[in-house]
Structure 1
Amino acid sequence: MKNLNIAHVLLLPVLLTLAACEDLLIEQPKTVAVENFYNTAEEVETAVNAIYSPLRSTRAEQIAILDAHTDWGYGRGSRAQYNDFAGLNATNINTAGSRWNSFYQAIRNANLVIANAPDGTDISEEDLNYYLAEAKFLRALAYFDLVRNWGGVPLRTEENMQQIDLPRSTVQEVYDLILEDLGFAESHLLPTAKHIGRPTVYAAKTLMADVHLFLENYQLAMEKSSEVIASDEFALVEINSVEDIRQDIFGPELISTTEEIFYLKYARELGQGNFMLWILNHPSTGLFNFGGAYAHYSDATNPFYMEWDEGDIRKALWDQIDFGLGPNTLVSSKYVDNAAISRNDAGNDLPIYRYAEVLLIFAEASVRNQGAVSEPALAALNQVKRRAYGNPIFEASAIDYQFAPSDVEPFLDAVLQERAYEFQFEGKRWLDLKRTGKAQEMVMKNKGLQIAEAHYLWPIPLQEVNFNGAIDPSTDQNPGY
């Protein structure tokens, strides 16, 4: 059912046709768009599908790299260099450049839709706005990754996509486009997606809430997250064991859950699967039928892990395995699949936004906005914690956080820590530490390391510097490179 569903959602056979004509789309976009391609709703949907491919191809790698930058995560082999917090070496500069390329490929494909779909001859205004909203949502998502990891970047849109030489825009200019795109998406996406795996109005509101959180627009972050909560469309998946987490929240057989707001979809099909499992798993656990490269890990002597309460079921997603680095080495078992068809093709979807994050965005934003701990904020935080202990989500519990209204800083620290436990290998922690100004404090506390200035932003790729005449390598490159 998972394979049939995802084929219907995003991996339609027409993608193969689209891939075959990709060079045409690059070299002769006007010819393809006007004469042959963007005229019907079906053709525009096919073009929108092409936006997903580069995002899906880079997401697992992006998550793994971001979580190696954290106070709890480590990389092995070529990825071990992330652990010194001194910036990227030549090898990892190249891999960062590959991720940059994937984001811009998605943006290019979105720009083609936004530029050409309005000229379609046989598409309703309703369908047109829906697909434009989807394209703008995905473009906003790609730029959100770019701006948080590279800072100001060249702002390529449907209006300048033929222009090679584009200067770096400011961070604020990038965020302005993101919010403009999301405003359109919020207005024209549907409460229920046409197909599972496509964004809804609630995905747009959630991404908007997250953007406002990063921009410190706390009232707007609170409002948008509360709108998602008030919809009553979502709920945390209740758990009682670590196996429940693996199968009922992140399992390879799942089509969707009550917690899913926006996930990138994968399937047990050649070239359409998730290779995060190969990156993370260890062969000794038997949780992935192709073993695993265990390229990312943690350590049981790290204070982050040592201070983690044993009653928290999420802690059991780490297995203690000595693969040559000592008996305290921890390997993640969050994503499991014993029926993958290759080491790169597991069936697990990758969450971009879950309802747990909406609750925690609301909790943080409302307290920052109001300057006091409110009952709704505390309730949202405790829902996430109760679920993690296998307790009823809406019933008071002995493990509940207890804060007075004036306990603003302890509350915010608790939210940050809860996010750290909840979103491991979802690519959130490093970005959280940067936006809250806590990166150096937590990396020193848990790893004993100083963070070099070069480590906070990845370098503008060499190919961009070489081919974009508006980029001056002496003045436009990020610090340390």
Structure 2
Amino acid sequence: MNIRYKFIAVLLAVVSLSSCSNWLDINPEGVVPSDDIDFTDPSQMYGPVSGVYAEARTRMTQWEIWPILNVRGDEVTKGGGSAAEQMDYSNIENFNYAAAKNFWAMNAAWEAFFKVVNTTYFNEELLDRFLENLTDEADVARAASYRGEIVFHRALAYFYLHQLWGEIPLVDPENVTNAYLYKSRVENVRAHLHELLDYAIDVLPEQNELQGAVNKYTAMTLKAKLALIEGDFELVKSLTDEIINSGTYALVAQEDYYDLFKIHGKLSSESIYEFQFSDFDAGDGPQIYADAWFQHQGPRNNPVPITGWGFMLLQPEYLDFLNQHNNGERDEERWNLAVLESGTTTPSGDEIAEFDPDYMEGKAHYNGKAYTPKDQMTEGRPDYGTNNNVRVLRYADVLLMNAEVKARLGGDAATPLNLVRERVGLAPIASPTVDQILEERRAELSVEWGDRFNDLVRTGQAASVLPGYVAGESEYLPVPLRQEDLNPNLLQPAI
């Protein structure tokens, strides 16, 4: 069964918390109402897990999160109709954090990720109520695996909170609505993340019976990304070697690469995790839609259904990079996938109206990884991106992490690197350097969950590449002013 159909069958409701005003006084949507569950029936035990998937995909694809994650790198600028539209994204892009401290979108991102964390705790409690009634060992084992899926999503939300803010509060599981939590130091946040992911790795199956649900290797991939940021190259090597040697994943063929982020590429052989959405192949009726995640990146002034707000415009520097990446020539496969050029017709036959923003040189180039062609959309669904998924973790990233650490530690870096290069028609590199592998990451992983900014920071290149970046000051955003008002403890030093 495809997990996206499982979601729609689960009854979801809002669980009301106390009415006190505090920074965690939020209603965790996606929690299965306990009155509708027979906790003596093991067949209903997946309900709380489905609720976590639903909450994660809803909250973590809120459109306002995406620019915050990505504009600090050198791939995109905020875009929009004018330089003044959502100006605080430009403040974040230029590392003028003080001016953005009261930015509504930054506060919304903070709250969205913590809503996911809270939901994992609430729904884990529901799973515990099943455990009280289980007598069959197989059911007990399934419950442990289900808990691993919940815990993974807690780690995923914490990972992006940490990526953005560094020192963050860690929710007290004994009192999820605690109003007075302190920030935790970076090393403590990372230690907690490893603890969560180690637990998930230990209890999750190598293959999940539901297509697209998380498994052991999903958790291992996230742990490897964390270890790469920390510079623990031996751990990255061990984790990525195991994922590769498992044979669970494979890169799609070159002829399928163009569709990798489109509807035809959903849940491909290289998908390690993606947020799933569906219109159930029907032109009307219920659907699970990614709100404005696709729309805010869609072409401005274009006819329905290929239309949007024109945010997340690719920087000229990134376009120049792609135009030179194939031995001084255009990296054609990457360009067709990652770049949606205004004033042209796409390989899928969609005409994209030219947009010449007055705050940029030249015409607009949109993020091609958010492009869903009209001929792949269900007739009758006018909203851009309907029925497409949002990719989160990919096998290409695993291969490139593996190549990088082997280039650093010694080992066969060429094989994993060249798998990624050759599938887009690029010549192999016999003895790749770390810099060449980092360039390949830039080409392959553009505009994906802030990976480029992370790479520049962890390799010490950010200050020389990103105007306005100051080492030791620009790595993390400030805590949103709204959260400090609700919880003054967030003004105190991390513990």
TM-score w.r.t. structure 1 length? 0.82
In terms of fraction of residues, the more helix-rich structure is 1
The Cα of 1:42 is off from its aligned counterpart by 4.7
Q: Deviations over 1:255-291 (max 9, x none)?
A: 42111111111223545336332122215777x7241
The Cα of 1:330 is off from its aligned counterpart by 2.0
Matches within 5 A, 1:61-140: 61-76=64-79, 77-78=85-86, 79-87=89-97, 89-90=99-100, 93-120=103-130, 121-123=132-134, 124-140=139-155
Matches within 5 A, 1:266-345: 266-268=277-279, 270-273=287-290, 275-282=292-299, 289-300=305-316, 303-309=320-326, 310-316=330-336, 317-321=338-342, 322-325=355-358, 326-334=361-369, 335-338=371-374, 339=377, 341-343=381-383
Give 1:193's aligned residue: 208
What letter corresponds to residue 157 of structure 2 in structure 1? Answer: A
Say whether the 8 Å CA contact 2:402–2:416 is kept in structure 1.
Answer: yes
Give the Cα–Cα distance (whole angstroms) in 2 for the partners of residues 210 and 301 of structure 1. Answer: 26
Give the Cα–Cα distance (whole angstroms) in 1 for the partners of residues 362 and 107 of structure 2. Answer: 35
Give the Cα–Cα distance (whole angstroms) in 2 for the partners of residues 88 and 55 of structure 1. Answer: 29
What letter corresponds to residue 399 of structure 2 in structure 1? Answer: L
Give the Cα–Cα distance (whole angstroms) in 2 for the partners of residues 336 and 159 of structure 1. Answer: 43
The Cα of 1:142 is off from its aligned counterpart by 0.8
Say whether the 8 Å CA contact 2:151–2:200 is kept in structure 1.
Answer: yes
Say whether the 8 Å CA contact 2:69–2:164 is kept in structure 1.
Answer: no
Give the Cα–Cα distance (whole angstroms) in 1 for the partners of residues 193 and 173 of structure 2. Answer: 14
Say whether the 8 Å CA contact 2:120–2:154 is kept in structure 1.
Answer: yes
Q: Deviations over 1:293-345 (max 9, x none)?
A: 22111244665345333144102332443423443532233331422624365
Q: 5+ unaligned residues in a row in structure 2: which ranges? A: 19-25, 80-84, 280-285, 343-354
Moved more, 348-357 or 459-468: 459-468
CA gap of 1:40–1:113, structure 2 versus 1, over 3 A, is farther
> Is 2:465 the counterpart of 1:442?
yes
Give the Cα–Cα distance (whole angstroms) in 2 for the partners of residues 255 and 90 of structure 1. Answer: 36
**Match of 2:402, SS?**
helix
Say whether the 8 Å CA contact 2:197–2:223 is kept in structure 1.
Answer: yes
**Match of 1:276, SS?**
coil
Give 2:180's aligned residue: 165
Say whether the 8 Å CA contact 2:205–2:215 is kept in structure 1.
Answer: yes
Moved more, 462-471 or 83-92: 83-92
What letter corresponds to residue 128 of structure 1 in structure 2? Answer: A
**Match of 2:272, SS?**
strand
Match of 2:414 among 354, 378, 383: 378
**Match of 1:85, SS?**
coil
Q: Deviations over 1:188-219 (max 9, x none)?
A: 11122121221011111111211211222211
Give the Cα–Cα distance (whole angstroms) in 1 for the partners of residues 421 and 98 of structure 2. Answer: 35
Say whether the 8 Å CA contact 1:265–1:350 is kept in structure 2.
Answer: yes
Q: Deviations over 1:455-481 (max 9, x none)?
A: 4312212332222253236x569xxxx
CA gap of 1:103–1:272, structure 2 versus 1, over 3 A, is same
Give 1:413's aligned residue: 435
CA gap of 1:26–1:293, structure 2 versus 1, over 3 A, is closer
Moved more, 158-167 or 83-92: 83-92
Give the Cα–Cα distance (whole angstroms) in 2 for the partners of residues 166 and 141 of structure 1. Answer: 20
Give 1:12's aligned residue: 8
CA gap of 1:352–1:139, structure 2 versus 1, over 3 A, is same
Q: Report the number of matched residues.
A: 439
Give the Cα–Cα distance (whole angstroms) in 1 for the partners of residues 291 and 55 of structure 2. Answer: 13
> Is 2:430 the counterpart of 1:402?
yes
The Cα of 1:454 is off from its aligned counterpart by 5.4
Say whether the 8 Å CA contact 2:145–2:203 is kept in structure 1.
Answer: yes
Give 2:276's aligned residue: 265
Say whether the 8 Å CA contact 2:357–2:363 is kept in structure 1.
Answer: no
Say whether the 8 Å CA contact 2:308–2:384 is kept in structure 1.
Answer: no
What letter corresponds to residue 324 of structure 1 in structure 2? Answer: P
The Cα of 1:401 is off from its aligned counterpart by 1.8
The Cα of 1:40 is off from its aligned counterpart by 4.5
What letter corresponds to residue 8 of structure 2 in structure 1? Answer: L
What letter corresponds to residue 138 of structure 1 in structure 2? Answer: H
Say whether the 8 Å CA contact 2:306–2:373 is kept in structure 1.
Answer: no
CA gap of 1:289–1:234, structure 2 versus 1, over 3 A, is same
CA gap of 1:323–1:460, structure 2 versus 1, over 3 A, is same
What letter corresponds to residue 400 of structure 2 in structure 1? Answer: L
The Cα of 1:22 is off from its aligned counterpart by 5.6
Give the Cα–Cα distance (whole angstroms) in 2 for the partners of residues 23 and 193 of structure 1. Answer: 33
> Is 2:486 the counterpart of 1:467?
yes
Moved more, 267-276 or 188-197: 267-276
Moved more, 224-233 or 250-259: 250-259
Q: 5+ unaligned residues in a row in structure 1: which ranges? A: 392-398, 404-409, 444-448
TM-score w.r.t. structure 2 length? 0.80
CA gap of 1:7–1:356, structure 2 versus 1, over 3 A, is closer
Say whether the 8 Å CA contact 1:182–1:208 is kept in structure 2.
Answer: yes
**Match of 1:432, SS?**
helix
Give 2:407's aligned residue: 367
Say whether the 8 Å CA contact 1:210–1:221 is kept in structure 2.
Answer: yes
Match of 1:144 among 146, 154, 159: 159
Matches within 5 A, 1:234-245: 234-240=249-255, 244-245=256-257
Supply the RMSD in Å over aligned alpha carbons: 3.1
